[in-house]
Amino acid sequence: MDKTSQRKALRAIIAGIFDKARQSEQVARLLQNVVLPSGSICIYNSLPSEVDTKQIIEYFCQRREVYLPVVDGEDMLLVKVDKDTQYQVANWGIYEPIGKRYLPSEIRPAVTVTPLLGVDEKLNRLGKGKGYYDRYFQSLDTFKVGLAFEEQVVDKVICDPWDKPLDMLITSKGIIKRRDL
C-alpha cells in the first residue's frame, strides 16, 4: 500500500464514523486536562471530517496565546485569535481567521495541535498530502499533538524520511505519548 491508497482507505473510514461529536468532546476534555509545554499554542480550525476543535480553541483562548494557521501559497502562516476574531471561508471550506499573519518562526508556538488522516501507535502521522504541516514542522521545534478519532489509529502509517512523528496523540480512548520524550 502507498500513501495515496492509505489516504483513500482512511477517508472512507472517517466518512463512516457516526459518533464524531461524542469522540470530539472526549478528546477535548482530555486535551484540556493534560500537561502541555507552557507558551503559545497553534490549533487547526477543524473541518467536519476532523476532531472538532471549536471548544478547544475557546478553552485555550482563555489561558494562553492561541494562533490558527492560514494557507499562503505552499506555506502556513499564523494568525493570533481570541473570542472576537472574525473568520472568512478559504480553500477547502476552512474558516481562516482574519488578522495579521506571522511566519511560524516569528511566533515559535510551544505546542502545535495538528490534524491528520491516520496515525499509528508509534505516533507516525499521515496528513492529507499537501505537505503544509511537514514544511511547518521542518521549520521549527514545537510539541506536536495529534487529535484523532479511534478509527483513525491504524497498525502502520506509511512514512517518508522527512516525516516527523507526533509527541502526543489524543483519542477518545486516551493519550499516547512518544516513548523517547
What is the CATH code for 3-175?
3.40.50.10420
Long-range contacts of 157-161 (CB under 8 A, 24+ apart): 157/6, 157/118, 157/119, 157/120, 157/124, 157/125, 157/126, 158/1, 158/2, 158/3, 158/6, 158/126, 159/124, 160/3
Smallest CA-to-CA distance from 178 within 111, 120, 129, 137 is with: 120
Summarised one tens digit per residue, pLDDT across range 99-120 is: 999 999 999 999 999 999 999 9
Q: Return phi, psi of residue 145, to 5°.
A: -115, 120
**What residues pair up with 147 in beta bridges, in sequence order?**
170
Position with higher pLDDT, 179 vs 89: 89
Q: Where are the domains of the chain?
A: 3-175
Return the percentage of the chain with pLDDT > 90, whole number. 80
**What was the pLDDT predicted at 75?**
85
The long-range contacts involving 120-124, CB below 8 angstroms and separated by at least 24 positions, are: 120/153, 120/154, 120/155, 120/156, 120/157, 121/153, 121/176, 122/165, 123/165, 123/166, 123/167, 123/168, 123/169, 123/176, 123/178, 124/156, 124/157, 124/159, 124/163, 124/165, 124/166
pLDDT recorded at residue 169: 98
Residue 161 clears pLDDT 80, i.e. is over it: yes
* Interatomic CA distance for residues 12 and 118, integer angstroms: 12
* Predicted local distance difference test score (pLDDT) of residue 72: 86
